[in-house]
Each structure stands twice: as structure tokens, then as C-alpha cells.
Chains A and B, each alone.
Chain A
Amino acid sequence: MIKLLYILKKEFLLIVRDVHAVTILFVMPAVFILIMTLAMKDLFELHSSVVIDILTVNHDAGKRPVALLKAMEEHSTFRFHLIAKDTATESVKEQMLSRDYKFALIIKKNFSTFVNKKGKGKDENPLELLVNPTVPVQTQLVLKSTLDGELSKLRWDAFIGRIDKLLAFAGIDKKDLKANKLSPIDVQYVYKGGQYFKMPSAVQQSVPAWIVFSMFFIVIPISNTFISERDQGTFMRLKSMNVSSPYAAAPLLLLEIR
């Protein structure tokens, strides 16, 4: 046991007195943590809060587009950044790429007409969504579904407005039929064993990895010690000393392997 303590003391002193080893030991894992955190930041941010920025052009002068954007922003997930209404589609695409937007929404001139539409004729789609191909499909679907949902609500409310006289005649309060702004879906989280836990951040997620990784940086200086022990003839001395302790014999075993 005393032998082991002296061996550990020796290894500890050799590492702490080696400036380069200590630098590697502490700086490299710190660099590793930083790199991994930055690399995984986007992935782990999805577990806490998500904001999707959307470059927006509104070619329709009516009130309906404003109502759509307002309803969308009430979800607190979407932020619309309006640019000049006469911006051409090609210019929107350029701005989207140069300003690093993942999405651009073009509200066409016929948007209000589409919402208030009475006839059955096939018209041009009132919305055009431009998508950066690097965006995950799930995110695309989230935005598209929400737009579909809000557009349907607008159309329903418009329909109710058109038949308000009929509803009044039938004794129905049109307020009861208006689309509900709040989602009718309750979300509940289910935790294993009933115990609440918070999703880890990018830093926390990397902890096991950088503990394993830091082991390499402990092994590197110890390996350097072994190599210098061999070069300085210390192993020769140890081999001639009848060192019986398995702890002291471990470096000798490594010498044999090398």
C-alpha cells in the first residue's frame, strides 16, 4: 500500500510539475466542451424554446393578411419580418439567403379575396412559402400546418360573417360559432416513474463524453512519463530492483509491450 501511495505521489508530482501536461489536461477538455456545446446548441435549443423567423412580403393591401400574421404571432413561435410590399419574388429569395432566413412567406394580392371567396372557382394559391433546403422536414411541417390552421380559421370567420343575417333569423349567436383562438388541445408531459426532469442543455448533454475524453488527456502525460522513464534508463533500474508490487510492475509491463 505504501508503495502504491509513493507511486501515485510520484505520478501526481510529475504531472503537476509539467506545464505542458497541465495545459493539455485542462485546456483541451475546455476547448472540447466549447466546440461540442456550439455544435449541439441548435439541437438542444429545440427542447426549450423555438423561434422561427420568417421573411415576409405582403402584396395584399387588405386587412386579412394582417389578421393572419397577428394570429400566427400569437403562437410566440413565429416572428414575421416584413419587407417592402413591391419586392419581387427573386429579390425575396436573394434576401432570404443573404440574411440567413430559413423561410420566406409571400402573401399574394388575392389573399383577401381567397379568404372572403364566395364562389367555387379554382384560384391561384394565396400564399407561397419559400424554404431553405437545410431546414428539417418537421420544422417545415410545423409552419405549414400552423399557416393552414390559421387560414382555415380566417375563412371560417369570414363565412360566419357572410351568413350573420341568416344566423340571426335562426336565433343563433354568431359569437358561438366563431373560430376559437385558443387551441382545443391540452398537452401533458409524461415522465418515466412520475418524476419530473428537465431536458439537458448542450453542455450538460456533453458531460459524459468530455469526462471520457479528458481521460485521454490524463493518459497522455502519463505515457510521456513512461517514455521518458524508458529513455532515461529508469525502467532498467526498476527492473533490476526486484519490484514485487503489481502497481510498480504495471509500467514495466507496458515497457515489455512496447
Chain B
Amino acid sequence: MKKFILYIVPLLALVSCKKTEPSGPSFQPTPYTIEIPFRFPTQLNIPADNPMTVEGIDLGRKLFYDGRISGSTHPDSMMTCATCHLQSRSFECGMDHPKFTGGHPFGVTGIPTPHFMMPMINLVWTHTGYLWNGRVYPDNPASGIRQLEDLVWMAIVAPHEMNSDTNKAKALIQSIPGYPELFEKAFGSSTVTAKNMGRAIAQFVRTLISADSKFDHYLRGQVQLTPEELHGYVLFMTEEGGDCFHCHGGEGNPLFTTNLFYNNGKDSVFTDPRDRYQVSGDPSDIGAYKAPTLRNLIFTAPYMHDGRFKTIDEVLDFYSSGLVWSSYVNPLMHHISTGGNQLTADERASMKAFLLTLTDSAFVINPAFAMPDLP
């Protein structure tokens, strides 16, 4: 047993080592290591050409909050990531956004986004493509629509977002004292490029990790759930209960999403040109969208890709008795023939109590994610 301990101690020490060496004498960004939370996946989606660095994250955080990234200095046409992605709403806009009534964002020209917002937390574990239909994925034949990085230029040019162009954006950022130095530190060149803007913001977004909810404490054996929360947890995790876990995970998948795509029985007629089918071409994906994480649900109303449900109660009512049959409904929605899982009012209340244990209140006030001083 002594030998065992002798072997283990140095091994543990090795496991905890981090890379520290700089890559060169003039350009020496500081490597940043993502600490994987308890039971979270080990495979991170970090492109080889955009390694995480302290300087890159710092720059990305500034750009994330800087409205001038839209290439404009006029208050009416300035827009940035943080215009819609509010930390206080777990980086969605929330129902009570002062500008986007009901939680539906629109761009600088007033055009609403095709879909409502989806969670922007724990994206470093997303391997199935970004957005509700996963159209930003590594094997995409369209070369500029493959990574989290690409969502930055897409947001700059999209009519329903910044409605700008990347030349304007990078020229304006280049002209702001302080930014060229930050680009130099992060990427070894003071020349602002759209690619490096995307890289920096993507690095920052990959740090938006939410893993400190009451349920996380429960998994770590630090707290106990209340009887009502436990009841909801049982319903969540059982096929004959709510049967949520097949798509939304649980103790075996604490992301609380598989990041896969499902037709969950909301409709019988499908006309959305941006469903999963439009990406995969597979008819079984008609009307399918990515299952979003359930973490921080309390902050992220409205729900579903089209924001049709304004409250958690409405969502639970839908899954209980509001399912709509179509031949495209995913077979995991096995309660479809009875219209839903038929949870009673008490059971739905318990389920809601459990879902609220996924709230990470510290995340929404974490100063590391807040608006920094801008150049």
C-alpha cells in the first residue's frame, strides 16, 4: 500500500501540471488551461489554430463588450455581442431585456433574428455544430462557417444583427489606441484582422463555463437536494416519469444536453427554412433542433427555437400534455401517443424545483465575464 501511495502522489502531481513555456522570444502569449469541472467531458472543442491564451481571452472579452466591433461609433448603429448576450441572463437576452421585448432580438436595422437565442454557456464542449440547426460545423463545405470563431464575422455582416462589414469593423478597431497592442500580445501582430477578432472572441466565449449550481454541489456530495427537488430529479431521470434525460443528460452527462438534434413534437407542419433538415438533408431531421442545455434555465426564457414558451411552467405543460404528432417526431418522444408524459401538477412542480437546482447564480455575476475597461 505504501508503494501504491508512492506511485500515486507523483502521478497526481503530473496530472495537475500546466503548460507554461512561451512559444517565442518576441511573441509570448500565456497559455490558458481550462479546468474541467467535476464529471464534465474531457474532450474540448478548441481548434488547433486558436489555442487558448490569457492575452487572447482578455482581448476577446473587450471585443465582446465593445460596440465598435460593428464598425460604427454612432449610438444608433453600434452593436456588439453583449447587446444581446447579457451576463445577467446567462448570456442570453432574457424576457425582460430593455430593448428586445419578449426576448426576441433584432439587428441594427430592426430585422428580427430568425430564431430566438440559445444558450451560450459551456460551448467548449460543443462538437455537433453551433446554432439551433448546427449549421456551423467543422466539415461544412462552406469554409467560413465551421467554427465558433466564424460566428463573429457572421454576426458582423448579418442584416438581422450588426448589418455591417468586416472591413469597417477591423478598420475602426485598428484605429482605437490600445487595441493594436492587445492584438500584438494575443496573436503576434498589431494588424487587426477579422480572423483574429473571431479568434479572440471565441477564446473568451470558451471560458464561459457554468458548473457551480446546486446540482453540481449535490453531485460532489456537498449538499443534499430537498425532497421536492429529489422527486423532480427522479422524474427527470426515469423513462416512465418525465423521460428528460435521453436528450438532456443528467448525472452521466452534466452538460444537460446531448447537443444533438430532435424533433420534439411541437408542430405538425414544418416550414422553417432553418431547421436541422436544411443542414443535414436527412428527412428524419425535419422540424428538428438542437436540445439546449437546461442549465441556468431560470435566466433564459423564452424557450424553444421560436421562443413560444415564456415560462418554465409552459414548457412543462407542453411536455406533459401538449405534444403534437407528426411522422417526424423523434422516437425518444415515446409519450407522443398520449400527448405527453402526463405529469400531474405536483409532479410538474417537483420537476420545476429540480430544474431550478441547475441555476448557477455565481456564474451570472462572475467578474471574469463582466464588461471590462475598454481601450
Q: Is A bound to B?
A: no
B-binding residues in A (CB < 8 A) = none
Chain B residues packing against A (C-beta within 8 Å): none
